[in-house]
Amino acid sequence: VKKLKKIIAWVAKNPLTTMRAILAMIIGRRIFALTKVEHPSVVRSYKNDVLEPLEKFKDNWNLKEIGKSEEGFPIMALEPKDFNQDKENILITAGVHGSEPAGLFSLLKNKELLSHSDKNVYIIPCVNPWGFEYNKRYTKNEVDVNRQFKEDTENSNAQCVMSYLKGLNLKFEYTIDLHETTQEDIRNEGFIHLLNSKLPIEDGAFIYQTVLNKEKELGSHIVKRLEEEEIKVTSWKEIWEEPCINGTVTYPEARVSIMYSTSGTLEDFCANHLTESAITAESMGYESLEKRMKMHKIVMETALNK
Ligand SMILES: [Zn+2]
């Protein structure tokens, strides 16, 4: 108690120094969080870790090369062999950001789930293969593919995905794009917000969705399933300055952030051309890969069983 009294007296005498110390602690903590490596740099091989496992999908899907990435890697798609036009169509995409591999790994691991679905399941497992190999969010030319899904893009990854999807000439019940929240997001786009506590740095998973038909809203169902399976969902009320309600940022209502209103995301393209319910699922980058893969499995499962 004596010590505490001493401290209080000191603080009262030195308010400025105390404030400086507190501020330094807050900034220090944030910088420390930003420097943590959430995905240890492992050498990955697109050929061995993606193309080879995809061969196993050939029982149920046609495996097709739909174009080349900026760096010349083949971009692949899976089309259901037993396509039935009376069934609903689902599109699942992953690997748009190369440093967010859990969605892609979850796809590759859950062939059974995907093949026993009652829907026609289309898959583009890895939109940015170079990023996957080098564990980078962007392409080799520092292009964020998830801002390139617009007519005048010069990025070949986005070009081939868009023309392939348009060429299918299908409507999808849901489109699901699998992502992860990583420290890299903040490093690349949010350094200016260093003191903003509302950024998704170390909280749970969340969902972006564009809902054009309220009956097809899926985000709240995904969040419910995640909570049932004890996957932490974010408690934050804002993500990148946009309102987040119950772990879900729902467009077009929520579109207030400049970053996303300039758009060109795959979710945006899907909502404009393919579906009334486009989802982007964000797992929590600081958790173990296993747990993040489980999160993505639950997302896919919810869409497939709905
Ligand atoms: Zn991402």
Each residue of 146-193: pLDDT tens digit? 999 999 999 999 999 999 999 999 999 999 999 998 766 655 555 555
Ligand 1 center to 181 CA (angstroms): 7
Please answer whether residues 195 and 30 qualify as being in contact, where contact means their C-beta atoms are separated by less than 8 angstroms.
yes
In the numeric block, the tokens 């970053």 are attached to 259
User: What dihedral angle (degrees, nearest 10) is formed by the CA atoms of 182, 201, 214, 210?
Assistant: -50
Ligand 1 center to 45 CA (angstroms): 20
Nearest to residue 126, comparing CAs of 93, 153, 155? 93
Ligand 1 center to 97 CA (angstroms): 5
Q: How far apart are the first and last CA of the chain?
A: 60
Ligand 1 center to 20 CA (angstroms): 35
**Rounded to an integer, what distance in angstroms lies between the CA atom of residue 294 and that of residue 300?**
10
User: Could you tell me which residues come within 8 angstroms of residue 245 by beta carbon, excluding any fewer than 6 positions away?
Assistant: 237
46 band by pLDDT with thresholds 50, 70 and 90: very high
Tens digits of per-residue pLDDT, 212-256?
Answer: 999 999 999 999 999 999 999 998 888 877 889 999 999 988 777
Ligand 1 center to 265 CA (angstroms): 10
How many other CB atoms are there within 10 angstroms of residue 103's CB atom?
31
Ligand 1 center to 126 CA (angstroms): 12
Tens digits of per-residue pLDDT, 245-277?
Answer: 999 999 988 777 655 556 899 999 999 999 999
pLDDT at 285 over 80: no
Ligand 1 center to 77 CA (angstroms): 19
Ligand 1 center to 125 CA (angstroms): 14
Ligand 1 center to 246 CA (angstroms): 20
Ligand 1 center to 14 CA (angstroms): 45
Ligand 1 center to 23 CA (angstroms): 31
Query: pLDDT exceeding 70 applies to what percent of the chain?
Result: 88
Q: In what order do the strands lie in the sheet with 61-68?
A: 61-68, 74-80, 120-124, 89-94, 174-181, 277-284, 206-211, 248-251
Ligand 1 center to 176 CA (angstroms): 13
Supply the pTM of this predicted model.
0.84
Ligand 1 center to 11 CA (angstroms): 44
Ligand 1 center to 62 CA (angstroms): 27
**Rounded to an integer, what distance in angstroms lies between the CA atom of residue 157 and that of residue 180?**
19
Tens digits of per-residue pLDDT, 84-105?
Answer: 999 999 999 999 999 999 999 9
Protein residues near ligand 1, an ion, with CB under 5 A: 97, 100, 179
Ligand 1 center to 65 CA (angstroms): 23
Query: pLDDT exceeding 90 applies to what percent of the chain?
Result: 71
**Rounded to an integer, what distance in angstroms lies between the CA atom of residue 170 and that of residue 153?**
23
Over the chain, what is the mean pLDDT?
89
